[in-house]
Structure 1
């Protein structure tokens, strides 16, 4: 039986497991185990045990639950309640006015939560009622929230960057730093679009409130500023070479606990809830990573990555065409899989091809996360679309239509990243030169 036939059978088996409702991590592990047991003479049970052990004790993996816990603590520290009051005075004079709170608020929450769905849900719970009561265009409010919610994957500290770093064996510190400029670029594209939409005849925004003094703006932001300073301290400690991602995550947890205690939200129940939520999320992601590791080993024993790389090489694709092909594949995968699964499932196959084409692995990680962001806005499994559909009561088509311009802006962001790779590589290279 040739490699192509085996690959097809393996893909059908995996899709059948996923369609049957089996956990993603377990489905990936079973598909990898079946590949080794059925199509190779290798000892499948021994390989399974060795693979699970080798991929479960890595030091880099310890940063994952700590960053997740930091986000869960701050999530319960009334951050969403303070976000609108803290950001509105600084943004309501821009064209589009308080629609920018969705974008900047998601940027701040992205650095806290590291998750697209959590970012969209948290900011949406706070901003949508406020914007509706003030008469803002609902479709634009939904669109800005759906698009900006994807920043949870890109702005460090990002859970998806940790997942890619572990899967691709790349420096998580460099990935965090590489995501800063692209994250700001995406925020700038979204804000620029809202300003242009407003200036070119979009539904008129309600009038701005009275002008506030600098002292009054700072007073209204007093509960938000410490969170921003904590995020800057975490990222700055990594960029300055003072701390590893795991050490920075530990700093973030202690800082989040201190802020929650100072704000009066660090109750025994909230502490227990944040810890249990962090354990659940971390175990889910770790299970996906381990299952994908087993599947990757199984595919390696069958020679699937080498066969696919050979096929691509035989097509004599230019680097630009290779990126276009990968982008289309990831967009299709995003219709059926969530972000972590896409990354761990495809990295072992795609990374050798892009490295051979001359692309930097860290740059490819940022590109991949941007494409996964696009997948958050593609039905039928666009997680941000599901979140906003549940929050607004609108049908999936209405939410998808509102999100479409921001999907296009993410496509533009990928094009800019491909044309100007220094957006992702300049800061990490500067960090290494220090």
Structure 2
């Protein structure tokens, strides 16, 4: 069978299997094993365990469970509530200050936890009721938190960036740095839209009636600063050449656990067990997907599907930006139905040779891909963050949450356009800190 036609068949079968409700990892293994048996015989089954475990034999993967423990220890405390309250106290007299506080808290908490659902839950529980009480429209209150939660997969340290780095053999340190300025750009766009739409509504919520003294503003800072210092310390150790990402992640995880125990009195063995249990579950899920995606990639390569697709696209006489537009449409559609980790592991190894052949920077493309995945987190039918917000505020209809999040999707699309016109926003900081890529 022609490899391109076979690739289409594999794609359709994969989509059908994943839509059946089967887990992503098991689905990839079933599809890979089935096609390898059909076209390569039963002997291919003897290779699958070796490929599965070989994909996990990478020291860089140790950073994933460590960063997850780091985020889980933060999410299990009142750090999110304290972070929200600290920003609210400092920005209370700024027009639209409450929505800015929520978005700022989402950005900082997502950087500390690296988890979109955890960010939505932690900040949303405090922020949504308060914004609604102050008179903010339900769409702004819910949509801003749903969008702010997506920042966790872009702002470092990001588990998604680690997965991309492992899948494409790209420097994780560069990827982390590449997400900093685009993350700040998205935060600025989110804040600008939220303030404008609040002001346009002519609502009294623009200015808060609450006034906090300087003493009240400073007294909450000691509860927040340790976590922020840990994040800064982890990034400094990584980029200062002191330690590898995996080593800094391990130290960061230990420090976050200690801070949670000392500041938030999380001494109970039961509470610590919950943190480690949930972290283990999430880590195993991600690592299982990575291993299964390795088998899936081997199947595509063994049947010459990857090579044929890359060769076919290379022969197309189209403008490289038309090609990038088609790639973005593909990523958007994939992100609507699959989690970011699965999309990256399945698509990145195929797309990267095409992108680099077209003259695009792989570090820049990682940021573009990640923003596409962020859009998927607040877009139906999956839209994980939408359902998290609906669980926090069940009296806000899902339709209202979706409508409130759509302008933020527009902000993300605008960010992709800006990054396409000015790619240096993503590549300047990595080149400055780590030197120009060869």
If the length of structure 1 is used for normalisation, what is the TM-score? 0.95
Query: 1-side partners of 2:126 and 2:181: how far apart?
Result: 27
Task: Say yes or no: does 1:105 pair with 2:99.
Answer: no
Partner of 1:148: 148
Query: 2-side partners of 1:118 and 1:102: how far apart?
Result: 14
1:86 touches 1:222 (CA, 8 Å); kept in 2? no
Deviation digits for residues 96-149 of structure 1, max 9, x if unmatched? 120112211111111122122221122111211222233322211111111111
1:74 touches 1:112 (CA, 8 Å); kept in 2? yes
Most deviating of 410-419 and 302-311: 302-311
CA RMSD in angstroms comes to: 1.8
Deviation digits for residues 292-315 of structure 1, max 9, x if unmatched? 111111001111122222222232
Query: 2-side partners of 1:422 and 1:23: how far apart?
Result: 38
Q: 1:246: Cα distance to partner?
A: 0.9
Most deviating of 139-148 and 262-271: 262-271
Partner of 1:87: 87
Partner of 1:304: 305
Q: 1:317: Cα distance to partner?
A: 2.3
Task: Say yes or no: does 1:176 pair with 2:182.
Answer: no
Task: Say yes or no: does 1:265 pair with 2:261.
Answer: no
Q: 1:220: Cα distance to partner?
A: 2.5
How many pairs does the alignment contain? 434
Q: Can you give the 5+ residue segments of structure 2 that lack an aligned partner in the other structure?
A: none
Query: 2-side partners of 1:320 and 1:206: how far apart?
Result: 41
Most deviating of 171-180 and 191-200: 191-200
Partner of 2:376: 375
Partner of 2:397: 395
**Partner secondary structure for residue 205 of structure 2:** coil
* Cα 1:81/1:423, change in 2 over 3 Å: same
- State how 1:19-418 maps to structure 2 within 5 Å: 19-40=19-40, 43-205=43-205, 207-209=207-209, 211-263=211-263, 264-393=265-394, 394-418=396-420
Q: 1:408: Cα distance to partner?
A: 0.1
**Partner secondary structure for residue 98 of structure 1:** helix
Deviation digits for residues 352-384 of structure 1, max 9, x if unmatched? 100111112111111111111111122101111
Q: Can you give the 5+ residue segments of structure 1 that lack an aligned partner in the other structure?
A: none
If the length of structure 2 is used for normalisation, what is the TM-score? 0.94
Query: 1-side partners of 2:268 and 2:78: how far apart?
Result: 12
Query: 2-side partners of 1:210 and 1:377: how far apart?
Result: 32
Query: 1-side partners of 2:326 and 2:85: how far apart?
Result: 44
Q: 1:195: Cα distance to partner?
A: 2.4
Query: 1-side partners of 2:213 and 2:241: how far apart?
Result: 38
2:160 touches 2:340 (CA, 8 Å); kept in 1? yes
* Cα 1:202/1:209, change in 2 over 3 Å: closer
